[in-house]
Amino acid sequence: MPPANKQPTPPATLPTHVAIIMDGNGRWAKQRGLPRLEGHRRGAKAVRSTLTAAFEAGVKYLTLYAFSVENWKRPQDEVGGLMRLLNYFLKQELKTLQKNKISLHTIGRTDALPPSVRKELAATIKATAHHKDRALILALNYGSRTEIADAVAAYARAVAAGKENPDDVSWDAFARHLYTAGIPDPDLVIRTSGETRVSNFLLMQSAYAEFIFTPVLWPDFGKAELLACLAEYAKRERRFGQTGEQVAGREKSEK
């Protein structure tokens, strides 16, 4: 165990892109006899600490699953509270994004979000667009199946317009039409709260990602928990279909 006054340090091997399924706000609140919305408020604080810790550690891209296409089915007062909380978060965290030179991006059908949220998102995206080295991606009204359906439609339109070759059936050609076009695939996907499913999140992009499922509820997730996940990631051997011997040989030749 490190001394109590010493912060854990990031491991030598870091993922370029970390994606997080933030889960457990409701259970955190229920365990404490609090309203679900209070759990979401505490979860927003966890976003701030995790965001800062990730970029301080050297992560370049951080994607947070903030609101899924299925979340509209929740009680309307909870949905409304989440939208107000998102607005508040964007206003409060703009200084943090600017200070740390982080650009904001979104993935999902954001045109279906309330006008006030769309306005705040547009303003924050514009204000941080000049930052090129680090990116926070919020998945809002997002679902991977919806993304694939939208990408198929976009690809078909591009073929009809002569912008895509119908004989090019490569993944790279199709991926140009995903919400995440231009963003590296996640190296590490973390899900909090002990659930062991991916819930329609980045299904195509995470084909070769490492997964970590932690029992920590999202409001309790912070710097120490993130660094523990990064340390676990550093122990993994990523083979991408190759053998361990091939990976070792490649790494040796790169040194």
**165: annotated active-site residue:** no
Q: Rounded to a whole number, what is the distance in angstroms from the first to the last CA of the chain?
A: 32
Q: What CA dihedral angle connects 21, 24, 26 and 30, to 10 degrees?
A: 180
Query: Which one from 5, 23, 111, 133 is the annotated catalytic residue?
Result: 23
Please answer whether residues 214 and 220 qualify as being in contact, where contact means their C-beta atoms are separated by less than 8 angstroms: no
Phi first, then psi, for residue 234 (nearest 5°) are -65, -20
Asked whether 36 and 219 are in contact (CB, 8 A), the reply is: no
C-beta of residue 194 within 8 angstroms of C-beta of residue 215: yes
Query: Can 71 be counted among the known catalytic residues?
Result: yes
Of the candidates 23, 78, 80, 57, the one whose C-alpha atom is nearest the C-alpha of residue 214 is 23
The catalytic position among 5, 71, 141, 167 is 71
Q: How many CB atoms lie within 10 A of CB 5?
A: 5
Q: Which positions are catalytic?
A: 23, 71
